[in-house]
Structure 1
Amino acid sequence: MTHESGEIRVLVENSEYWLRNNGDLAMLAVTLRRLRQRWPDARIGVLTDSPVLLRAYFPTAEGITVFDDDPWAPPTWLEDLAARLGPAFVGPVVLAWLRARTWLPQKARGARRRLKSALTGRHVPPITPRPRPHIGSRRAVASSSVLVVLGGGYLTDADAAQCRRVFSLIRTAADHAVPVAIIGQGLGPLDDPALVAMGREALQRVELLALRERRRGPAIADRLGVDPDRVRVTGDDAIELAHDLIDPTSDTARGGGDGLGAGIGFCLRVAGYSPVDEAARTAVGTTVRVAAERLRAPLLPLIIAEYRDQDRKSTLPLVAGATRVVPPLPRYVHPAAVAERVSDCRVLVTGAYHLAVFALSQGIPVVAVTSSEYYDDKFLGLADMFGTGLTMIDLGEPDLAARLSSAIATAWDEAPVVRAPLRAAAESQIALSRAAFDEVFAITERSGHRDDPGGVTGR
């Protein structure tokens, strides 16, 4: 458990290294709080591309990059300054730096290639740069007390690069006798033979695999050879963050007035893993605006994925022209602020999974719109865990507008009825999730792992 310095070191594999997804930040916030409650003096490192922005969001955590020569070195003065300034100030500067670091070298290589082609008169094919070894993450995990793999939906064919990265990190931890706990994970769809082979090798070596749903995850874990005694179904760890916004002395959510919000929350996710054609976008936007007018409800555009303004670009144009639109929250807010804005809704229409988590956890019914198997699994698994309050609409249906309009009207009418059972389901999942964390604590404290970074070089 301890190292030669007497420290407990917890390494958190963060699912989104740029820290631009409010759902991932919500899971990270809950995870860090629970770890700190158990081990007040532990060093908690989080893998990220931006230690500075991490400290702005979470001042007691330490950012570790995959390229760090000395991953457990003390935080820099710049990180300490960021912890005092907060993400609203630090975020825009860090994002500009990340973009420049990532995209300017790509543009420079392209310019050199085009110049060489022009000078020689021959086509010069693009050269993929050789990736730098991930020495930092390997050294960090080898000298950790435990590796905690944060919840998410990235162990799937739809996110192959992240999937490979995490499986590789798990193998490194196991090779150095560092216990591995995977928490709040949405496993699959996972059918790619290469990923399945990697997953089989890695996941059989974890001490605990806590899944956020029971509909598909346990069967996939079994297919990968994970010992069933090490598998738990706990629900999503972000449930606790949203449920904490409920006032325990009454039936109201903060900002929710009499306990039922007045608005319709809305987010349409458009991405490679969630494709939505122009006709479906138009139908969804028109239907939501008409429903808000009919119900005399304000529209609340809600943002989960901020990376490249993903949800803003696909959502905000669709609420333009509505009679009453609540301005969206600014970028770089704490995820609890997003969950609190959800509490102002009586109904949520969403293509973003974690907004549905925030809503259901507070007792707010959800109309989920989806266009892919990946998102079908997300929403069906969530619906199964809560038992009520979620209606799923396929964006490819020919009668999309009618189906969506009817679902919004039904959810609006049923909001008072589903409130109590949804909150009870959230409380049950929070208890399961906390029990899984108790197992993580026990596993770590039993292991007695000591600092042994020897032999950790290269990829």
Structure 2
Amino acid sequence: MKILVDHGAYENFGDLAMLEAALARLRTIPGVELAVQEAPVQWPWPGIRTMGYDIRPPGATLRRFARARILAGPPRAAMHAAARCWQLLAHHLAGLAGGTGAWPVRIAGGPQRLSQFCAQFDALFVAGGGDLNDVFPQALWRCCCLVRGFAAQGKPVFLSGQQIGPIRHAGSARLLRAALRRATFVGVREPGDSWRLATAAGLAGARLALTGDDSLGLLPAAADAIDAALAASGIGREPFLAVNIRIGPYVDVAADSLPAIARVLDGVAGRCRLPLLAVPISVADEDSDLQAAEALARCLRRPLPILRGNRLSAALLKGVLGRAHGAIGMSYHFCTFALSQGVPAIALYAGDYYAQKAAGLADCWGDARLAEPIARLDDEAPGRLLQLLGDEALRARLREAAPMAARNWEDAFAAHVVRPLAGRAQAYLNSVKSSQ
């Protein structure tokens, strides 16, 4: 039985953590062969086949998206143009509902029809991520095409640990709802907007579950590797405050926000007398946390060592954040890595995309103070953040909730993904034996 594993782990260790956790469980299913969309970061799974493919929206529609500048928070006229783009995409995808599957898939060796591409596999698994929204039109289009293509052939489709939204346009909402309705199972990672949008698509019962983030299933690196990484950064075994900042085309944070963020971090670190350490999650050129940390360091009054090296991995970053006294940053997985090990993490946010992430974290971990808008970083912010980081009752709750969240994810993934696929794999093996 062949399973296609689609994901969004493009030089982002948070997305890679979700993929690794899922693969560790999927590869235990007897008789299963996994084919994983190619990831540009180092591949830690020898023996699992990777394959490059892409399903792009029509070129004219993509050019309209570029003109609309949807990712940059466009004005009213551009928003209307973007809405029209989503209507066109929904129209293009409607043809897939009849099972024609004529849309081209770009792969090595030349393009194939979508129906031909999907025919190679017996099931589709989409690893957790934050791509099911109209912030990333190409990623949403690819996922919707794959779901519709597999469903048209009567093949099961599983999605786990998803952030669904934000959705700004009626066309993208129709596109997404039509795809979700065809899924065998959808797991969402937060109980707010993602759950609401999933239920609005008609998902209920055993087809929908609050799984939490897929990275909950990833174990941190070994202690000696964490010690070495911290020592190389000049931290050693002393307590520290972890920091993460992101600037990119989909992030509503500009470089001119860094001085205000730096003033707050200087205030927090100075009062608690702890060193800072920048921990990157994304290392892609367009939204590099390393470059953002370097820019932030120029605004700070105190040193900001940056965790670097060619041996960075999702497990190592998770392990480092488990050693922190507290974490203040923007990346969803920067915060999740810390919170899932009982370390208080404050999610800074701006714009609706990161607002949903921060609100989801606060909902999942039961404390609204964990979400802090960047616009609110005033002179009182250091005291407010220090109060949260020093809240021992919160630390106790997190230490209790973290292993429960990991067990919930493990149980949900086993019940809704692994066991159904294992049953199908066994049926496939039985059919092969009976035909011999």
Tell whether 2:371 aligns with 1:392.
yes
Given the alignment of the two structures, is residue 218 of structure 1 paired with residue 205 of structure 2, yes or no?
no
Shift of 1:201: 1.9
Tell me which of 56, 65, 83 is aligned to 2:52.
65
Partner of 1:4: none
Q: Does 1:421 align with 2:372?
A: no
Report the AA paired with residue 66 of structure 1. Answer: Y
Rounded Cα–Cα distance in structure 1 between residues aligned with 2:122 and 2:355:
37
Find the counterpart in structure 2 of residue 183 from structure 1: 160
Displacement of 1:325: 3.6
CA contact (8 A) 2:221 2:316 kept: no
Question: 2:14 is matched with which residue?
Answer: 23
Instruction: Show the counterpart of 1:432.
Output: 408
Counterpart residue number, 1:10: 3
* Cα distance, 1:47 vs structure 2: 1.0
Mapped to 2, the partners of 1:208 and 1:133 lie a distance apart of 24
**Alignment-derived partner of residue 77 in structure 1:** none
Q: 1:338 maps to what in 2?
A: 317
Change (3 A) 1:140 1:390: farther
SS in 1 for 2:47: coil
Distance 1:383 1:38 in 2: 34
Residues 427/344 of structure 1: CA separation in 2 closer, same or farther (3 Å cut): closer
Residues 204-257 of structure 1: per-residue CA shift (max 9 Å, x gap): 111111000111222111222334441100110112325x5699xxxxx9759x
Match runs of 1:370-389 below 5 Å: 370-388=349-367
Aligned residue for 1:315? 293
Native 8 Å contact 1:57 1:334 kept in 2:
no
Change in 2 beyond 3 A, CA 1:425/1:254: farther
Q: Secondary structure at the match of 2:243?
A: strand
1:441 & 1:285 partners in 2: Cα distance?
45
**Higher relative contact order, chain-length normalized (CA < 8 Å, sep 6+):** 1
Taking the aligned partners of 1:450 and 1:173, their CA distance within structure 2 comes to 17
Q: 1:306: which partner in 2?
A: 283
**Hey, what does 2:33 align to over in structure 1?**
43
> Contact conserved, 1:366 with 1:411, CA < 8 A, in 2?
no
* Alignment partners' CA distance in 2, 1:289 and 1:60: 47
C-alpha RMSD over aligned residues: 2.9
**Equivalent residue number for residue 107 of structure 1:** none
Other-structure match for 1:166 = 143
What secondary structure sits across from 1:181 in the alignment? strand
Which stretches in structure 2 are left out of the alignment for 5+ residues? Answer: 56-102, 231-236, 430-436
User: Aligned-pair distance for 1:420?
Assistant: 3.3
- Indicate how the Cα distance of structure 1 residues 271 and 15 shifts in structure 2: closer, same or farther if over 3 A, else same: same
- The within-5 A match list for 1:189-228 is 189-228=166-205
Distance 1:346 1:403 in 2: 21
For the 8 Å contact 1:266–1:348, the answer to whether it is kept is yes
2:346 counterpart SS class = strand
Aligned counterpart for 2:348 among listed residues 356, 359, 369: 369
Contact 2:211/2:413 (8 A) holds in 1: no
1:171 and 1:205 in contact (8 A); partners too: yes
Q: Relative to 1, partners in 2 of residues 1:26 and 1:228: Cα closer, same or farther, differing over 3 Å? A: same
TM-score, normalised via structure 2 length: 0.76
Distance verdict in 2 for CA 1:34–1:447, change over 3 Å: closer
TM-score of the aligned structures, taking structure 1 as reference length:
0.72
Q: 1:15 to 1:390 in 2, by over 3 A?
A: farther
What is the total number of aligned residue pairs between the two structures? 365
Q: Which one of the candidate residues 357, 360, 368 is aligned to 2:336?
A: 357
Give the percent of matched residue pairs that are identical in Structure 1 and Structure 2. 25
Structure-2 separation of matches of 1:139 and 1:430: 38
Q: 1:403 to 1:174 in 2, by over 3 A?
A: farther
d(CA) in 1 for partners of 2:28, 2:248: 37
Q: Shift of residue 404 of structure 1?
A: 2.9
Q: Which residue of 1 aligns with 2:243?
A: 266
Report how far residue 403 of structure 1 moved: 4.0
In 2, Cα distance between equivalents of 1:342 and 1:396: 25
Structure 1 stretches lacking a partner, 5+ long:
1-7, 69-130, 248-252, 452-459
Matched letter for residue 59 of structure 1: P
For the residue of structure 2 that corresponds to 1:29, the secondary structure is helix
Classify 1:229/1:35 alpha carbon distance in 2 versus 1 (closer, same or farther; 3 Å). Answer: closer
CA separation of 1:324/1:208 partners in 2, compared to 1, >3 Å: closer, same or farther?
Answer: same
TM superposition shift of 1:67: 6.5
State the SS of the aligned residue for 2:372. Answer: strand
- Tell me: CA distance 1:334–1:254, structure 2 relative to 1, closer, same or farther (3 Å): closer
SS at match of 1:164: helix
